[in-house]
């Protein structure tokens, strides 16, 4: 058959009764089953929702699924009986898998970034891994105790950890979209489907360590919903055709539709049910027959594919190591791979065309002198040889491949697959073009800024849709650059000798430097260290300042003749400039004028237009009628094009394009940066074109980790050496950083930051006053940076204390992702210096993960503020209600009990101070007559008014009022008070 067979042996151990594998999948609002040949489809479990993830437990005969809409996890027997709800508090479940050995269920939560587990009875639920980036498609190999899952986001990747959530590691990182992870327990490999930027698709696999990567180009639909492996086949659901299909997992090729007719509903998720899919140990136990069948065989007899052999027990097939049997035919070396092998040769030798025999590489003679890597002597004569990882081109002389100069035609990365095969890949942030070679930057399309005599305009990279940014500048603009952090464009006029800036969105211009460059292309913006660099030809110096034009400093003042064009590589901390003096050169130095070196000094006339390709690590410049390029250290120099442009004046490079300003022909053109071919004219009839730069988030890498604090020029800046601490108690202490570190200065503090891979003393403080210890300054910086609401730098915050030691061997793995561990004995704590792209206390977060955590923390803070405001508002409303109630009560009292004005009645001339008057109280409820009933409450209110004039004892009966001297009173008829 075309599948493996599980056999239960009879009592004589002679006959196997086959248990056929079958598929389970979501169909409509039910879970269905189907044989691998598309027959016997029927419903197993009804009422499970239309969007589900599922898995099974073979030995317990249970099916587990999750309703993605409600986030409820269920289980039921395969017969649809005894349905049980296991978990119901996560509506973002993106992956589900069952551990059939430890009887546990694992799932991923995409929005929460977590992996959780519980027992198969729904108990002991807990979180294993936190702070993940959009985890999904979790799978497990319980025999090896491994969990695997996919991560989304900007950099899709595949990760692994053990079943306890420990030992987390990244296996694969790619720029392509990853979907539908599945595990091959027999070959110990992971399989998945990936889609490129242009919709191209492939099936990829790797071993459990992320090695031995294998990719097969395979046209698939992007709405593929699930895959399942069974021996040499991959079964997958296709939403577009509403079918289940099958392809070979090793070779791909044309797919075979398993379903006999189009299904009524789209099949969702898929699994193959068979004991071979859930082995209980590394090898099958006696009494079972598990095998790979390559053809029709008698019942119970196992047959194996080529490259595999039946095990000694006769229960399964295992790989044949051809290299160990010495029947491979290789003359010197052999390397085994599953199901096959290939021959290898030691250094200095190469394979003959038979791919088995090694011959020594010799110097080419005669007609083969054009071979770049030597020749091999054959019976037919000498043939050109290529290094390992490359193959000979059709011309029979040049080589192509990862080990060749052309990198196999790849624009960025070349990944070897076998000695004669490779594939192209891209750096993070880029996606592979559908041609499989070029890399396209993610995000918005790039655009150009072009400066001419009359304007600075913004155009698309293909030369269309121009927009004026600066109209009629004060002088002729000769150089142009921009700051991606503050979105300001800086431009220099050599006639005015000024540097001005304007926002990308337009607005008023601001003059930054009044004594600026006097040469062409003499301006460069360092967007990371927040500096401007320019050349002054008449003084033969290189100068720098802050982005606001402050702290003007001479960087290089000796050994220069006529410096002109300048560019900067902040990540390498290097400056590059051209000198067109008596001996034209292209040179470089550090950002502080140290470590000068010559990049090019021969065959130069008037070099200029320097620009850096940050992705390739190469420098480009133009000279007379040609364009040249070399590595950043000056090696691998070559002419890219010559005599194809009139007078190249300035250059810009990004992705696979190189833009050239031709001043002689007054035009802007572009070429393919690898070969100088594919020449295109974008703009013509320009008025004295001068400078061009390309704008894109990836055109100036590292800008995302630079944070302006309070505007341009006032942000985080990185410099080296002894630098002042600004505005700190009106004093000027200094901080001297180690040579392998940078000074990270803010408006109020300074911090040493180590370069990736370096370590040493955290800082050496000089001139710091006794009332401001070094570690207090460090803490000031730490808390200052904590208040930033943007992505923090990738450096872990420094710990207090001046003495630093290397971590002991027990903490070698404390810092993750190749971070360097330090120990601070004064505070008995550990810290990590993270490599680029990672951050956190233990370097456990990638940039995107940290950003998401910061966003979550910011959301939490906002919720707390909103809740506090609501509580405060409720309290204020309650107080207002109480005040209003009291006020209304007093108002009512004043209405019903107005003040009594008492007048004297003829009482004679005798003194009233001691006279006693007996009164009968009648209370009238209203303005008129009518006697009310006396009660204690009315009495208290009434006597409150009388107490202003009379001393009244507190007795409700037989009231005796003593008249106060000097008061007027009025007693109504018969001594009755009436209101």
Lowest mean pLDDT among 33-47, 51-65, 930-944: 930-944
Looking at residue 660, its pLDDT comes to 92
* C-alpha to C-alpha distance for 360 and 133, rounded to whole angstroms: 51
Higher pLDDT, 383 or 751: 383
Structural domain includes residue 796: no
Structural domain includes residue 563: yes
Where residue 160 sits, what CATH number does that domain have? 2.120.10.30
Looking at residue 416, its pLDDT comes to 81
The continuous run of DSSP H or E covering 499 comes out as strand 498-503
pLDDT digits (tens, 9 = 90+) for 478-501: 888 999 988 899 988 777 778 889
In the sheet where 201-207 sits, what is the strand order?
177-184, 189-195, 201-207, 214-217
Q: Within this chain, do residues 394 and 467 fall inside the same structural domain, yes or no?
A: no
The residue out of 383, 418, 453 marking a domain boundary is: 418
* C-alpha to C-alpha distance for 882 and 876, rounded to whole angstroms: 10
Higher pLDDT, 324 or 908: 324
Q: Stretch 156-166: mean pLDDT, rounded?
A: 92
Q: Within this chain, do residues 629 and 676 fall inside the same structural domain, yes or no?
A: yes
Q: Within this chain, do residues 571 and 469 fall inside the same structural domain, yes or no?
A: yes
Mean of pLDDT over the chain:
75
In the sheet where 252-257 sits, what is the strand order?
226-230, 233-238, 243-248, 252-257
CA 285: distance to chain centroid? 45
Structural domain includes residue 706: no
**CB within 8 A of 367, min separation 6: which ones?**
none
Structural domain includes residue 933: no
Looking at residue 939, its pLDDT comes to 52
* C-alpha to C-alpha distance for 882 and 316, rounded to whole angstroms: 84
pLDDT digits (tens, 9 = 90+) for 173-207: 988 889 899 999 888 899 999 988 777 888 889 99
Q: Within this chain, do residues 810 and 675 fall inside the same structural domain, yes or no?
A: no
Structural domain includes residue 632: yes
Q: Stretch 122-126: mean pLDDT, rounded?
A: 91
Higher pLDDT, 275 or 304: 275
Q: Stretch 7-28: mean pLDDT, rounded?
A: 62
Report the phi/psi class of residue 917: left, alpha or beta, with left for phi > 0 and alpha for psi in -120 to 50. Answer: beta
Looking at residue 359, its pLDDT comes to 82
What residue has token string 């810009």? 652
Where residue 389 sits, what CATH number does that domain have? 2.10.25.10
Q: Within a 13 Å sphere around the CA of 268, how many CA atoms are in the beta-carbon half?
A: 18
Instruction: Look at the pTM and tell me if it is higher than 0.75.
Output: no
Higher pLDDT, 712 or 592: 592
Is a pLDDT exceeding 50 seen at residue 919? no
Q: Within this chain, do residues 177 and 267 fall inside the same structural domain, yes or no?
A: yes
Task: Identify the band that residue 381 occupies on the pLDDT scale cut at 50, 70 and 90.
Answer: confident
Q: Stretch 413-427: mean pLDDT, rounded?
A: 81
Looking at residue 305, its pLDDT comes to 74
Q: Within this chain, do residues 74 and 220 fall inside the same structural domain, yes or no?
A: yes
The residue out of 848, 882, 916 marking a domain boundary is: 848
Length of the chain as a residue count: 979
Q: Stretch 516-534: mean pLDDT, rounded?
A: 83
Structural domain includes residue 9: no
Answer yes or no: are the C-beta atoms of 802 and 826 closer than 8 Å.
yes
The continuous run of DSSP H or E covering 193 comes out as strand 189-195
Structural domain includes residue 918: no
Looking at residue 867, its pLDDT comes to 92
Answer yes or no: are the C-beta atoms of 307 and 338 closer than 8 Å.
yes
* C-alpha to C-alpha distance for 224 and 600, rounded to whole angstroms: 53
pLDDT digits (tens, 9 = 90+) for 388-414: 777 777 766 778 888 777 788 888 888
Task: Give how many domains the chain has, as a whole number.
Answer: 4
Task: Identify the band that residue 313 occupies on the pLDDT scale cut at 50, 70 and 90.
Answer: low
Q: Within this chain, do residues 412 and 486 fall inside the same structural domain, yes or no?
A: no
For the CA atoms of the chain, what is the radius of gyration?
A: 41
Q: Stretch 213-228: mean pLDDT, rounded?
A: 81
Q: Within this chain, do residues 685 and 615 fall inside the same structural domain, yes or no?
A: yes
Is a pLDDT exceeding 90 seen at residue 579? yes
User: Domain containing 72: what range?
Assistant: 25-277
**CB within 8 A of 439, min separation 6: which ones?**
175, 411, 412, 424, 426, 427, 430, 431, 432, 433, 615, 655, 656
Distances (CA, A) of 687 to 227, 398, 451: 60, 44, 9
Residue whose C-alpha is closest to residue 203's, from 211, 215, 187, 212: 215
Q: In a 10 Å sphere around its CB, with 0-12 CB exposed, 13-18 middle and 19+ buried, how is residue 447 labelled?
A: middle
Is a pLDDT exceeding 70 seen at residue 219? yes
Q: Within this chain, do residues 495 and 377 fall inside the same structural domain, yes or no?
A: no
Q: Quick one: tokens of 17? A: 């009764």
* C-alpha to C-alpha distance for 412 and 613, rounded to whole angstroms: 11
What residue has token string 């029947």? 327
Residue 337 CB neighbours (<10 A): 15
Q: Quick one: tokens of 440? A: 């396209």
Structural domain includes residue 145: yes
Beta bridge partners of 532: 525, 545
Q: Within this chain, do residues 581 and 459 fall inside the same structural domain, yes or no?
A: yes
What residue has token string 């031709």? 662
What residue has token string 């067109």? 580
pLDDT digits (tens, 9 = 90+) for 766-817: 333 333 344 434 433 433 443 433 333 333 333 333 467 777 766 666 787 7
Q: Within this chain, do residues 350 and 387 fall inside the same structural domain, yes or no?
A: yes
Higher pLDDT, 354 or 936: 354
How wide is the angle at C-alpha 239 spanned by C-alphas 235 and 241, nearest 5°? 90
Higher pLDDT, 932 or 45: 45
Answer yes or no: are the C-beta atoms of 498 and 475 closer than 8 Å.
yes
Q: Within this chain, do residues 123 and 33 fall inside the same structural domain, yes or no?
A: yes
Beta bridge partners of 65: 54, 74
Burial 624-660 (b: 16+ CB within 10 A, else e): ebbbbbbebebeebeebbeebbeebbbbbbbbbbbbb
């Amino acid at each position: 058959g075309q599948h493996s067979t599980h056999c239960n042996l009879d009592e004589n151990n002679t006959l196997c009764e086959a248990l056929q594998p079958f598929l389970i999948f979501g169909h409509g609002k039910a879970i269905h089953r189907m044989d691998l040949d598309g027959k016997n489809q029927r419903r197993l479990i009804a009422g499970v929702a239309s969007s589900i993830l599922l898995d099974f437990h073979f030995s317990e005969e249970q099916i587990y699924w999750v309703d993605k809409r409600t986030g409820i996890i269920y289980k039921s027997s395969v017969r649809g009986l005894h349905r049980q709800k296991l978990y119901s508090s996560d509506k973002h479940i993106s992956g589900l898998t069952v551990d059939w050995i430890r009887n546990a269920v694992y799932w991923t939560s995409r929005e929460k970034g977590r992996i959780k587990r519980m027992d198969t009875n729904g108990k002991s639920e807990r979180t294993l891994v936190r702070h993940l980036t959009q985890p999904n498609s979790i799978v497990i190999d319980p025999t090896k105790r491994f969990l695997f899952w996919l991560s989304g986001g900007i950099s899709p990747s595949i990760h692994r950890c053990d079943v306890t959530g420990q030992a987390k590691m990244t296996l694969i990182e790619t720029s392509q979209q990853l979907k539908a992870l599945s595990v091959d327990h027999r070959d110990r490999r992971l399989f998945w489907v990936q889609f490129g930027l242009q919709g191209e698709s492939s099936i990829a696999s790797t071993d459990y360590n992320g090695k031995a990567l294998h990719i097969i180009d395979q046209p698939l639909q992007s709405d593929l919903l699930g895959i399942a492996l069974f021996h040499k086949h991959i079964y997958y659901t296709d939403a577009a055709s509403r079918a289940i299909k099958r392809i070979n997992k090793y070779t791909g090729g044309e797919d075979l539709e398993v379903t006999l007719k189009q299904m009524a509903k789209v099949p969702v998720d898929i699994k193959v049910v068979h004991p071979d899919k859930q082995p209980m140990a590394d090898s099958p136990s006696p009494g079972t027959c598990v095998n790979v069948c390559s053809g029709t065989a008698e019942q119970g007899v196992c047959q194996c594919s080529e490259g595999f052999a039946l095990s000694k027990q006769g229960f399964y097939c295992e790989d044949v190591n051809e290299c160990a049997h010495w029947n491979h035919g290789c003359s010197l070396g052999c390397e085994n791979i599953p199901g096959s092998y290939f021959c290898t040769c030691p250094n200095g030798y190469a394979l003959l065309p038979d791919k088995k025999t090694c011959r020594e590489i010799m110097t080419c003679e005669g007609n083969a002198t054009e071979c770049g890597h030597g020749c091999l002597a054959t019976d037919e004569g000498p043939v050109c040889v290529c290094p390992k990882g490359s193959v000979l081109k059709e011309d029979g002389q040049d080589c192509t491949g990862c080990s060749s100069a052309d990198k196999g035609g790849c624009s960025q990365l070349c990944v070897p697959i076998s000695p004669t095969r490779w594939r192209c890949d891209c750096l993070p942030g880029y996606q592979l073009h559908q041609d499989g070679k070029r890399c396209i930057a993610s995000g918005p399309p790039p655009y150009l800024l072009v400066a001419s005599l009359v304007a600075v305009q913004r155009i698309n990279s293909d030369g269309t849709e121009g927009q004026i940014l600066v109209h009629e500048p004060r002088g002729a603009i000769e150089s142009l650059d921009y700051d991606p952090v503050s979105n300001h464009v800086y431009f220099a006029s050599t006639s005015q000798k000024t540097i001005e800036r304007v926002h990308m969105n337009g607005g008023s211009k601001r003059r930054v430097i009044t004594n600026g460059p006097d040469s062409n292309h003499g301006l460069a913006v360092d967007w990371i260290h927040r500096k401007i660099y320019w050349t002054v030809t008449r003084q033969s110096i290189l100068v720098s300042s802050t982005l606001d034009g402050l702290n003007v400093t001479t960087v290089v003042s000796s050994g220069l003749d006529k410096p002109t064009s300048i560019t900067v590589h902040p990540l390498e901390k290097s400056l590059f400039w051209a000198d067109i003096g008596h001996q034209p050169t292209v040179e470089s130095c550090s950002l502080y004028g140290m470590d000068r070196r010559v990049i090019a000094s021969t065959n130069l006339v008037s070099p200029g237009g320097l620009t850096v390709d940050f992705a390739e690590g190469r420098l480009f410049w133009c000279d007379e009628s040609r364009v040249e390029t070399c590595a950043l250290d000056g090696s691998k120099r070559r002419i890219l094009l010559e005599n194809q442009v009139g007078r190249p004046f300035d250059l810009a490079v990004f992705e696979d394009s190189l833009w050239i300003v031709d001043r002689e022909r007054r035009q802007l053109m572009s070429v393919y940066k690898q070969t100088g071919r594919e020449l295109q004219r974008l703009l013509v009839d320009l008025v004295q074109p001068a400078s061009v730069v390309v704008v894109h988030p990836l055109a100036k890498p590292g800008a995302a980790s630079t944070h302006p604090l309070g505007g341009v020029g006032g942000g985080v800046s990185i410099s080296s050496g002894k630098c002042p601490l600004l505005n700190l108690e009106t004093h000027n202490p200094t901080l001297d950083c180690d040579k392998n570190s940078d000074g990270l200065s803010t408006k109020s503090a300074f911090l040493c930051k180590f370069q990736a891979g370096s370590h040493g003393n955290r800082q050496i403080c000089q001139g710091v006053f006794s009332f401001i210890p070094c570690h207090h300054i460090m803490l000031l910086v730490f808390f200052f940076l904590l208040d930033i609401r943007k992505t923090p730098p990738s450096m872990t915050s420094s710990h207090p204390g001046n003495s630093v030691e290397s971590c002991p061997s027990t903490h070698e793995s404390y810092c993750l992702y190749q971070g360097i561990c330090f120990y601070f004995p004064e505070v008995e704590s550990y810290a990590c210096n993270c490599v680029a792209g990672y951050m956190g206390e233990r370097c456990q977060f990638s940039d995107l993960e940290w950003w998401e955590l910061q966003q979550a923390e910011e959301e939490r803070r906002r919720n707390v503020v909103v809740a506090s405001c609501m509580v405060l508002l409720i309290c204020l409303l309650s107080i207002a209600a109480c005040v209003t109630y009291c006020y209304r009560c007093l108002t009512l009292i004043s209405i019903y009990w107005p003040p009594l004005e008492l007048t004297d009645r003829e009482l004679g001339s005798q003194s009233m101070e001691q006279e006693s008057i007996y009164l009968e109280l009648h209370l009238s409820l209203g303005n008129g007559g009518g006697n009310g009933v006396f009660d204690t409450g009315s009495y208290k209110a009434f006597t409150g008014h009388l107490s202003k004039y009379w001393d009244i004892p507190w007795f409700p009966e037989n009231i005796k009022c003593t008249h106060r001297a000097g008061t007027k009173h009025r007693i109504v008829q018969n001594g009755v008070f009436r209101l």
